[in-house]
């Protein structure tokens, strides 16, 4: 029996020797490179972290779950403190952003309000300018109408025709109207009440020379014009006073040296009167 066991052992050893020799030869082949000892020695294998608690990294097997059913307080704090700090940081950033948004919104609202106020002021100025322009346009239209009327009146000046005439005499050096002179002026001015299309020409003449004669004739003519305005309400713009001095008109040369006199001529515009 012992001999059989020994034989089997030797047979197995004989069969294992060729395989061991082949493995040795393959490892010693030229193509195979063995890393130096220094290189292999410098890189230590990674060691699994040692854990003292299941909640610090123990494998979640059934036994650890039974022995460590609850997490420790320090473990929970160690995990939650960074999260809480991050949350607080995010809350601070959110608060800063909200404040910045409110500041931007406030400045925007102020800018919009300021722009709205300026727009309202501009609209008001534009309205005022439009009103002034309209007023100016109306004034210009009215002025054009008046100019047209004036041009029409000027164009009708040649239509005035001589009407009643009278001569007022003054003593030398006097400008007071006599009763006879007033009666003559009353007779001429009475029919002119409520009439429009007429003018009265008052020309004064006086004896003397130069400016003295002109001044004397002006005073006598003014005396006649004053009486017509005060006694008969003749509009001043219808009376035209001319100081002729010692000028001599046709047919008056013989009487000119006897004293001062005033010629009163009534001129009527029949065309204008017909239009009214």
Region for 85 from its dihedrals, namely left if φ exceeds 0, alpha if ψ lies in -120 to 50, beta otherwise: alpha
> 226: how many CB neighbours lie within 10 A of its CB?
15
Q: Which of the 8 DSSP states describes residue 3?
A: H
Domain boundary pick from 155, 178, 197: 155
Pairing of strands 261-269, 198-205: antiparallel
Which pLDDT value is given to residue 146? 75
Q: Is residue 235 part of a domain?
A: yes
Which pLDDT value is given to residue 32? 46
Which pLDDT value is given to residue 227? 94
Say whether both 65 and 133 belong to one domain.
yes
Helix (H) or strand (E) holding 69: none
Which pLDDT value is given to residue 13? 57
Quote the CA–CA distance of 177 and 224 in Å, as a whole number.
Answer: 8
Q: Is residue 48 part of a domain?
A: no
Domain boundary pick from 155, 177, 208: 155
Say whether both 265 and 209 belong to one domain.
yes
Q: Is residue 59 part of a domain?
A: yes
Quote the CA–CA distance of 173 and 36 in Å, as a whole number.
Answer: 157
Say whether both 178 and 84 belong to one domain.
no
Q: Is residue 255 part of a domain?
A: yes
DSSP-assigned beta bridge partners for residue 201:
240, 265
Which pLDDT value is given to residue 158? 57
* Total count of domains within the chain: 2
pLDDT 10s digits, 41-75? 455 555 555 555 555 555 555 555 555 555 567 76
Say whether both 137 and 168 belong to one domain.
no
Which pLDDT value is given to residue 26? 45
This model's pTM is above 0.75:
no
Say whether both 262 and 164 belong to one domain.
yes
Q: Which residues of the chain have pLDDT under 70?
A: 1-72, 75-76, 79, 150-159, 248-258, 270-276
Residues 6 or more apart whose Cβ sits within 8 Å of residue 82: none
Quote the CA–CA distance of 241 and 203 in Å, as a whole number.
Answer: 6
Q: Is residue 220 part of a domain?
A: yes
Q: Which domain holds residue 92?
A: 55-155
Say whether both 120 and 173 belong to one domain.
no
Helix (H) or strand (E) holding 168: strand 160-169
Which pLDDT value is given to residue 77? 73
Which pLDDT value is given to residue 259? 73
Q: Is residue 136 part of a domain?
A: yes
Quote the CA–CA distance of 246 and 217 in Å, as a whole number.
Answer: 8
Say whether both 69 and 145 belong to one domain.
yes
Say whether both 210 and 141 belong to one domain.
no
Domain boundary pick from 128, 155, 182: 155
DSSP-assigned beta bridge partners for residue 264:
166, 202
Say whether both 174 and 145 belong to one domain.
no
């Amino acid at each position: 029996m012992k001999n059989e066991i020994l034989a089997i052992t030797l047979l197995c050893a004989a069969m294992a020797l060729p395989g061991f020799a082949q493995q040795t030869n393959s490892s010693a082949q030229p193509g195979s490179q063995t890393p130096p000892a220094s290189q292999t020695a410098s890189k230590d294998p990674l060691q699994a972290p040692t854990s003292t608690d299941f909640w610090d990294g123990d494998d979640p097997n059934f036994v650890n779950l039974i022995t460590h059913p609850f997490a420790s307080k320090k473990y929970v704090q160690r995990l939650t403190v960074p999260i809480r700090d991050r949350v607080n940081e995010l809350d601070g950033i959110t608060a800063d952003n909200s404040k910045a948004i409110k500041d931007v919104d406030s400045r925007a609202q102020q800018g919009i309000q300021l722009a709205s106020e300026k727009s309202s002021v501009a609209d008001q100025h534009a309205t005022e300018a439009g009103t002034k322009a309209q007023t100016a346009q109306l004034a210009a239209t009215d002025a054009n109408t008046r100019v047209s009327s004036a041009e029409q009146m000027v164009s009708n000046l040649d239509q005035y025709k001589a009407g009643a005439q009278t001569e007022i005499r003054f003593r030398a050096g006097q400008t007071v109207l006599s009763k006879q002179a007033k009666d003559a002026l009353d007779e001429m001015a009475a029919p002119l009440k409520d009439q429009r299309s007429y003018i009265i020409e008052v020309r004064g003449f006086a004896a003397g020379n130069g400016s003295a004669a002109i001044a004397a004739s002006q005073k006598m003519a003014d005396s006649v014009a004053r009486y017509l305005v005060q006694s008969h309400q003749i509009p001043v713009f219808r009376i035209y006073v001319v100081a002729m001095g010692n000028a001599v008109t046709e047919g008056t040369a013989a009487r000119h040296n006897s004293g001062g006199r005033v010629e009163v001529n009534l001129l009527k515009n029949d065309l204008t009167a017909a239009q009214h």
